[in-house]
Chains A and B, each alone.
Chain A
Amino acid sequence: MAITITSNNVISNTDLRFRPGNTDYPLYYYSNGPRYSDRTPAFTAEGTAGWLYHNNMSGGASAGNAVFANAMGWNWQQQGAGSYGMNSNGRYYAPLSGYYYFYFSTYFHNDNNSTNYIHLNFAKNDGFGWNNGRTPHNIYGHGTPYTYEDGIVVSCNMYLGQGEYCAIRPPYWNSNNQSRIYASHSTFSGCLIG
């Protein structure tokens, strides 16, 4: 086994491994090519608890203050978290600075024929306006007649500095407590893009 260096090539004849320090291999290439790292931040989490109304959320019935994250319990699997990563309060703390992909889906029921809609989005450090001051939310359940809303899902690419956090925080949820989400059918996941 050897590494050969030519004019513009670094060539290994077996797995090519990168080692900052003497013990870890945070990145290597298998001998048949794929890049592998069990240190790149990634996680997948499931919500726990049953039906939750607006007034079950942190901030109570105040529209625009519905924080999903700590109203549910969470179970998760993750890698590359270091001193950060997923927390029991439903916040994902960035292990490193960079762009992260996040995804959330849940299960939404409108209890009557009113416009019990929800804007679904993430927040950065609890701030709705995480994307250059704007809140790029979608909308679900506006006027859905007493039934389950199609979906509901949201995803994004968010820049986080090390230690900053992302959580699910709808910028608006109609506060009359006539619509609800089922926590145990919810999932929150993400990874460092680069």
Chain B
Amino acid sequence: MRAWSRNWVFTIVIGLAVAACTASSLPTLKIKIGERMADFTLPEAGGTPHSLYEYKGKKAVVVIFLATRCPFSNAFNGVMAKLARDYADRGVAVVGINANKTEPASEVAEHARTNNLGFPVLKDEGNVIADRLGASVTPEVFLLDGDFTLRYHGALGNSQKPTTKAEEANDADLRPALEAVLAGQAVTHAETKAFGCTIKRL
């Protein structure tokens, strides 16, 4: 057998052996800070389709993966609704995405209504957009600037002390990033851990 061929066999065998000792099924984020998010179109749960790029002209877009049944996500319902209200007049759009296969569109629409979220929650059937972005939990935030460039990714708040209690939930991780984007400044902490429930994929 030729030398190059032997080397390949050797490399493959050793590679497999090492891989067997370092298995991982952790999801990988597919978009990096500073990259532009590609457009997507998803139906509002039980309603009309929305595209990301229809928010052209906004100063920032907050995309939040959320859930109807996850206590960690539900703890932030009031925080998300207040965020949308507080920043509506400052050119910020909030868009929710539900990618859980276990939570049907009718349930998502009802959840948005009863919790007075006040922003569209889109249904990502087949978790296509969640897969494209590498979103893995709820709640998980992707903050885009007016050019749809990712400026912050991670938690709404409570990244140091996860909570399922609404009275403890806050948006202390996202707000400084959002303020920085609105002020045209660099985001100091562009990534935090988005602790929560794993998105239930197909």
Are A and B subunits of one complex?
A: no
B contacts, CB < 8 Å to A: none
